[in-house]
Amino acid sequence: MIKKLIAIALVLGAVAFAIFWLLTTPQKLTSTQMAGLGNGNPEMGEMVFWAGGCGSCHADKGAKGDDKKRLGGGQQLDTPAGLFVTPNISPDRETGIGSWTEEQFANAMLNGVSPNGSHYYPSFPYTSYAKMKSEDVSHLWAYMKTLPEISRANEPHELSIFFQLRRGVGLWKTLFLNNEKVVNNLPDDPQIEFGQYLVEGVGHCGECHTPRTALGFGGYNKSKWLGGGLTPEGDGKIPNITPGAKEIGSWSVGDIAGYLKSGFTPEFDSVGGSMVSVQENMAKLPDEDLEAIAAYLKAIPSISD
């Protein structure tokens, strides 16, 4: 009897391991994702670069102007999971991503998978980038190759033991990684639709402005989309930017677009905190892009402060 129970336990264990291994296998680009790659335009890619805020995390902290294009990494992000260190994503072939292929870059952006086939941690906001069009990934890749090569070796993350098993990120992805729109039933308006793409996808605004579920670490509480969230360090609050917010809720589309362009509120207060770098990035975008972002923010469901 004991031998039979042991045998059953071994079989169940093997089945459980096989299921775990299947569910956590890093994914390759789908045929749909592959179809949109190629013929990247670096000029269009520069707009994707600024909308995505690459320099805010991968350049030196506090970098301004063209220094935001020096993507040697090294910024530290202290979170409840441990200390994440942003990697070198400059075109340097030895320490950056200069030896990558476009397909490898796209798989990182859209699926959170590294060239060696391992999962990236969701401190890299690929849950938002997964909503990007493949052609925009190609444009971004074309632009990234024009940036300065920075020689800086990557530093390892310092994570708690529970978070060191990268394979387990695959289970997290089954819950939170998809390319679906966050907000449905919006007005049928091309401007709002484009704003949704910029906010929910490449701009990854929800990464900071939306609270997390109990599982945390990238799982949006979609019932409070853009209703304000904790800072990644957990020691402060990032504001609500829905129509129900006490401050921004009363702003017009023009007010919001003007704030993103100039850094000044309608009351002539200036942008502060981590939003400074975001605003500086957004100011590089065409006015129509900023107006589309503002139109989307005025159309989403209200969350009260």
pLDDT at 234 over 80: no
User: Which segments of the chain does DSSP mark as H helices, in order?
Assistant: 2-23, 31-35, 42-52, 54-58, 102-111, 126-129, 134-144, 169-176, 190-196, 206-209, 253-262, 275-282, 287-299
Look at 2-11, 21-30, 102-111, 214-223 and tell me which has the smallest mean pLDDT.
2-11
Q: Does 190-299 match 40-176 at the fold level?
A: yes
pLDDT of residue 10: 63
pLDDT band of 78, cuts 50, 70, 90: confident
pLDDT of residue 166: 82
Residue 163 CA to residue 216 CA, distance in Å, equals 13
pLDDT of residue 25: 77
What is the arithmetic mean of pLDDT over 136-150? 98
Q: Which range in 6-10, 74-78, 105-109 is most confidently predicted, on average pLDDT?
A: 105-109
- 3-class secondary-structure state, position 279: helix
pLDDT averaged over every residue in the chain: 90
Higher pLDDT, 26 or 10: 26
**What residues are paired with 21 via a beta bridge?**
none
Domain ranges of the chain: 40-176, 190-299
Give me the sheet containing 82-85, strands edge to edge. 76-79, 82-85, 158-159
Q: What is the DSSP letter of 77?
A: E
Cα angle value 79/84/89 (rounded, 5°): 140
Amino acid code (one letter) for 33: Q
Quick one: fold of 190-299?
Answer: Cytochrome Bc1 Complex; Chain D, domain 2 (1.10.760)
Amino acid code (one letter) for 88: N
pLDDT at 23 over 70: no
pLDDT at 9 over 70: no
Number of CB atoms found within 10 A of residue 291's CB: 20
Does domain 40-176 fall under CATH 1.10.760? My reply is yes
What is the arithmetic mean of pLDDT over 182-199? 97
Q: Which of 147, 141, 107, 140 is nearest to 124 (CA)?
A: 107
Residue 214 tokens, joined = 């109990």
pLDDT of residue 45: 98
pLDDT band of 183, cuts 50, 70, 90: very high
Higher pLDDT, 247 or 190: 190
| pLDDT cut 90: percent of the chain above it | 69
pLDDT at 19 over 80: no
**What residues are paired with 82 via a beta bridge?**
79, 159
pLDDT of residue 82: 85
